[in-house]
Amino acid sequence: MRPAAALAALLILGACSPAKPADSGDKFAGLDTEILTWRQEILKGDKLCQSQAEGQKCEGFEVVCKAERAIASDEAAKGATAKVVAALNWNGFDMKFKQPQRGNATALFTRSKGTWTRAEHAPVNLSTCADL
């Protein structure tokens, strides 16, 4: 899958619910944009995405799961309004072993005062996004 097609696929995944303005009361507003930003950072920094040779580029990005997490009372007191864990898979190329390899990453997104932040998260079950 070409990068443009991968981006289109992610946008289609995000289109499962109608787009709403950020201030519409939708606690997940803007999350899909944050996931696309995360994808761009992976493209720039992941070791499997270093080669630019044909057939060795990172492609096939897929959001394999997203799941809401409970907000602790101390997080709510600090303004947190939503927490979501998400996992991405993609196809890359291992330069050391000279072969294609599947990459994956998991992140925890937290929305506070209308702004999303992202933190690394331990691997999850890719079917349910439940912690392992």
| pTM recorded for the entire structure | 0.80
Domain count for the chain, please give it: 1
Nearest to 8 by CA among 49, 62, 71: 62
Could you tell me which residues come within 8 angstroms of residue 45 by beta carbon, excluding any fewer than 6 positions away? none
Let me know how long the chain is.
Answer: 132
In a domain? residue 105: yes
**Inside any domain, residue 132:** no
Structure confidence at residue 49 as a pLDDT band (50, 70, 90)? very high
In a domain, 130, yes or no: no
Decide which of 48 and 6 is more confident. Answer: 48
Residue at 126 is within a domain:
no
Residue 113: give the domain boundaries.
3-120
Between CA 46 and CA 49 the distance in angstroms is 5
Q: List b or e across 27-64, with b for residues whose CB sees 16 or more CB atoms inside 10 angstroms.
A: ebbbbbebbbebbeebbeeeebbebeeeebbbbbbbbe
pLDDT tens, 17-35? Answer: 433 444 568 999 999 999 9
| Residue 112 forms part of a structural domain | yes
